Amino acid sequence: MRGFVGAVGRDCVDHLRQHGGDPMLNHLINVTLTSMPTCLLLASIDDCSTESDCAAAIYGDVAFAKAISYASANEVLTQYRDSGIDALANLDGGHAVAILDSGRRELHLFRDQWSQGSLYYAQEHGGILFSSHLPLLIGLLQNSLEPNLQAARRFLQDGVPPVADETYFNNIHQLLPGHLATISLDDAATINLRRFHAPMPIGPGVEKLSFAEAAVQTRELLTRSIALSLSGDAQKGFTLSGGLDSSAIVASAHYLHPERSARTYSYVTNERGIDEERYMDIVIQRMQCQPLKIRSSADEYLATLPGATRAAGTPVNGTSHFVQYLLYRQAHTDGMQVLLNGVKADSALAGHSYYFVDWMADLWQERQLVELARIMGTATWQSSNRARKTLALEIARRFPERISGPLLRRLRPAARTHWLGSAMREYASDQEVHQDLAVSGRSLQNHLRIGLESDKGARYAEANGAAFGMLSRTPYLANDLNRFVLSLPSEYLISRNGEVKHLFRESMRGTVPDEILDRRDKIGFDAPTGRWLQEKPTEVETFLSRARELGVIAENSDATTIGNARAVSRVISYVEWMSAYGISLD
């Protein structure tokens, strides 16, 4: 696994040294500073520096704001020496960074603001262990792992990940995206946390730019980000689902380098409603790609589940992470070192149908009631029952709590939880939270920023890449692109008839095939979870039996009691996760 681990505090360091022969760590480079014997930094990267009083380790790709190539740990270290820690807030790209300064007797840990990189830490024996990857950190802990039952219930009931700095373990925390942790080497038990990357500003709207001009600039900014992602000598491939996000990256790469044939990795299935092969083939043929398509089965899902779970370090909701794991595994076999993906495009360019509600909220706040009534009557979201319910929920959440409570209970009945184990049921079901997203008439842009900064989506791509010693590059998370989009008028991002990614579609016209641009369905990598579980009743019952023994589900619960294939898959994933790390609910 590619990444870094480290420790501050003599006892933690001694324990870390004892793991030098551990198969999981024996490939790591041992970086020690003779002037600071109580600190040890380990990194499985090639560009560590141990000059004089500083050392740095990077996992991921970082670029300085005005740089044209990805930076190394040495370059980051030079910038730190010249300008101090705050200068590194200008870094772009996905990264987790550790800088040890024995002169100042400080350790700095920080991660990018878009949650592409990860950083985890745990406090033991008066010291701190940290790592860019959860599995690496778990392998070093001396104390037993304690499950976070509040997070467990949230996951099992609704598929919701841990909140804030929580993980699925009580005794392990994650450094929040865009934050800096500074630890004094003289007081290793204390962590000083602060926001490192300033929140992306939400501008008043670039009113002087026409829609056409904004589309041109969006295309230029995205193309620049993709060009940066293609820099360097590493072998690069592309995940291709057939949707707009991944297709735009492949098509833009072809525009930039028509002489190159892109190596694409796709998942295909014959399952009606989720198969996108015909759209993939359009892109593959037009862009003259070298495609590799992967099919899978219930047998492979169950056989690969342990490896995919250990790669994630967490239980996983659904099978999209598993599909992505297969793609990275195959790309690694083919010698790829980097995969470009379309993760987080929905947050960067307004791709979810419920974002339409934010625009309606702004119109309501500005008392543009005639316009509000017009778009509510003509919006394309009315064509789907699921979209109508989603939007209704989003609207209800924006009312004051005395109104939203009854509305939400009517629209979203309480989830059945009688099948959960007693340890889980002790935790009250999370209440719906009133979301006041209106920010001076910029609710949509604020919601986009929240989505960009959330710890969803990009983390699994990064974790799957790390499992196979690869990097995952996400062009939609470029700072200059996001800064520009957040400054645009809402009607540029979502059309008046409810078309999401309105500006993005226009910006890609002529680059991405029209058949892709004109799609209105949204799938992504998805597997036929329900059918797979039906094909393997004996194996599923084995997992559920184990779940009953562990207290994850009630003694009288079975697949029928749980009643939902996705919920059953979450139970299976949680049990596999417990098994991988020796977790007990006792």
CATH code, domain with 217: 3.40.50.620
Instruction: Read off the pTM.
Output: 0.87
Other Cβ atoms less than 10 A from the Cβ of 365: the count is: 14
Domain assignment of residue 335, yes or no: yes
Helix (H, G, I), strand (E, B), or coil: what is residue 166?
coil
Q: DSSP class of residue 167?
A: -
Query: Cα separation of 344 and 450, whole Å?
Result: 12
Q: Specify whether 185 is located in the same domain as 279.
A: no
Domain assignment of residue 86, yes or no: yes
Among candidates 254, 265, 200, which has minimal Cα distance to 227? 254
Local confidence pLDDT in tens for the 586 residues of the chain: 567 878 777 666 666 666 554 444 443 434 443 333 344 455 444 334 444 466 777 777 777 655 546 677 778 888 888 888 998 888 888 888 888 887 788 889 999 888 888 899 998 877 888 888 888 888 778 788 899 999 999 899 888 888 889 999 999 999 999 999 999 888 877 899 999 988 888 877 666 789 999 999 999 999 999 998 998 888 999 999 989 999 999 999 999 999 999 999 999 987 776 778 899 999 999 999 999 999 989 999 899 999 998 888 899 887 788 889 999 999 999 999 999 999 899 999 998 877 877 877 777 777 777 777 777 666 555 455 555 666 666 666 666 666 556 656 665 555 567 888 887 777 655 444 444 444 456 888 888 988 888 766 677 888 888 889 888 889 999 989 999 999 998 889 988 777 889 999 999 999 999 999 988 776 667 778 888 889 999 999 999 999 999 999 999 888 888 888 888 999 999 999 999 888 887 6
233-to-64, 70, 329, 336 alpha-carbon distances in Å:
19, 11, 20, 11
Domain that holds residue 250: 211-348+446-517
**Residue with the two structure tokens 């307004």:** 350
Domain assignment of residue 278, yes or no: yes
Query: Cα separation of 539 and 66, whole Å?
Result: 53
From 490, 517, 544, the end of a domain falls on 517
Domain assignment of residue 271, yes or no: yes
CA-CA-CA-CA torsion sign (398, 403, 407, 413): positive
**Residue with the two structure tokens 């778009």:** 375
Domain assignment of residue 554, yes or no: no
Q: Specify whether 190 is located in the same domain as 314.
A: no
Q: Partners of 96 in the beta sheet?
A: 59, 111
44-to-26, 58, 59, 246 alpha-carbon distances in Å:
10, 9, 9, 30
User: Nearest 5°: CA angle at 157, between 153 and 159?
Assistant: 95
Report how far apart the first and last C-alpha atoms of the chain are (Å, whole number). Answer: 31
CB 433 within 8 A of CB 394: no
Q: What is the CATH number of the domain that holds 79?
A: 3.60.20.10
Q: Specify whether 120 is located in the same domain as 230.
A: no
